[in-house]
Amino acid sequence: MNKFTIPALICALLISNKAYTQETNNTEIRDYLDRMFEKTQLKRVPTGFLLDYAVDLVDFDNYNGRFITDSNCVSISTFENALVSLQSADVTKRQLTDAQRELYYFRNEDKSNNINLGVLFYRYNYISEDALSANKIQFIDGQVIDNYDNHGNWINPYEESEIFCFSPNAHECDAGSVNFRLNSENLFTNANIEQIEFDAGLGNGFAPLQNSAVFYYPEAGRYEIQLKIKANGIWYQSHSYIDVLSNATVHQSATPPNDSYVISTTFNGEKLSALVSNYYRGTSLRNPFIVVEGFDPWKLTNAMYGETADRNAQVQLGTTNHLDFKENYWKTSSLSRLYDLIYIDWNDSIEDIKGNAQLLQLIIQEINNKRDSDDTSGIVLMGQSMGGLVARYTLTSMENQEKNHNVTTFISHDTPHLGANVPLGGLYFTRSLISIVR
């Protein structure tokens, strides 16, 4: 479903034009969006949530509850991003006002083998794809304006969809009995939910879930858990996971890296920097597996939700970072027994891709210098999303310059190598955004 939406365009604009800088006021991005819609009668948005008004950190279409795929398995980070995105879509400014506080309590509720479930099911609106061509709206001087027919009747440009996802507040528990709880304060919805069913991933299928249910996990492993809800006679489905640990496994907080350092460079007069975090299996670096962070617009999210950066930090970790990747993905992967993890956190992922590629060259050279002298294995380089573009440009540049990178395997994950397909209507918004920012 192609929606007439602008959040992704904002991100693209920030990458190419570096519109948002350290000095930008925390409300500036919100002001841009408010100006675009200040002549729109937002009170007419049926649900009070407008996707085009939001900065969406997740793909709403991917979490519509209609299908289950590997790409829409929900982690706690995804759940939080979905709720925060929905909050930014609130045109009434009266719904989900306590979302940040509620997320904080959700993350920090009692865990161990008592796992709380967070459920998000909301109906929202979006401007239809043909809104401009069908004269449902006008777009004048960078602003969206309602349209009326010859009889003075308002033309409705909005279509409706749903977003549905759920997640446990912890992805780890010990083998044995696990109590899953669904408290009313962790059920976020603007719809009438008629029924809820839960599948604990033990092969017994779905069963009704009221407030809580206890399940016995006999052995360690990763289990897919699923939740179904029924609203207005329609079933919606979402899935997540838990990692069951053996009783001998010691629960610890996030393990710090064996070695970490900041590498900096200058590109077109701008200082760029990145945090390099090394997790060794032994006492030194062998068999490096480098993960290049993708687009992590911490400046944008800070602006939208009033968060402040740590001015003393050399590199801002943002939403995706080495701690999250290590704890939620790497630690339970078989790759952790074969490779040493090296994670690259960009301080500013919206910088020019060529600039961060120049920085990545220095990082690869440093990694080659830090490796054991007798380690002849090739480097595995994986770029996540935009990180795949940075990595690809880096490798090409180094080879053209006849520099040895020692990378024998390159993996790109969810990387737009062929670019992004932007609807024509969205291009009008981009043009307006560029003129406003400039």
Q: How far is CA 112 from CA 177, 198, 311, 394, in A?
A: 11, 20, 34, 43
Residue 174's pLDDT band, with cuts at 50, 70 and 90, is confident
| 237 contact partners, CB below 8 Å, separation of at least 6 | 65, 66, 67, 68, 164, 226, 227, 228
Whether the predicted pLDDT of 111 surpasses 70 = no
Q: Can you give the pLDDT at residue 5? A: 45
pLDDT digits (tens, 9 = 90+) for 412-424: 988 888 876 555 5
Q: DSSP string spanning 207-230?
A: EE-SSEEEEEE-S-EEEEEEEEEE
Residue 328's pLDDT band, with cuts at 50, 70 and 90, is confident
Least reliable range by pLDDT among 29-38, 85-94, 127-136:
29-38
* Average pLDDT value over all residues in the chain: 83
Buried b / exposed e across 30-42, counting CB within 10 Å, b at 16+?
Answer: bebbeebbeebeb
Range 147-163 average pLDDT: 95
Q: Can you give the pLDDT at residue 100? A: 75
Least reliable range by pLDDT among 91-100, 265-274, 310-319:
310-319
Residue 23's pLDDT band, with cuts at 50, 70 and 90, is very low
Range 140-158 average pLDDT: 94
Range 26-30 average pLDDT: 64
Q: Can you give the pLDDT at residue 357? A: 95
In sequence order, the β-bridge partners of residue 391 are: none
Whether the predicted pLDDT of 11 surpasses 80 = no
Q: Can you give the pLDDT at residue 236? A: 98
Which of 230 and 247 is assigned the larger pLDDT?
A: 230
pLDDT digits (tens, 9 = 90+) for 254-271: 578 888 899 999 999 989
SS3 per-residue string spanning 339-379: CEEEEEEECCCCCCHHHHHHHHHHHHHHHHHHECCCCCCCE
Whether the predicted pLDDT of 64 surpasses 50 = yes
Residue 308's pLDDT band, with cuts at 50, 70 and 90, is very low
Which of 298 and 284 is assigned the larger pLDDT?
A: 284
Whether the predicted pLDDT of 27 surpasses 80 = no
Q: Can you give the pLDDT at residue 57? A: 83
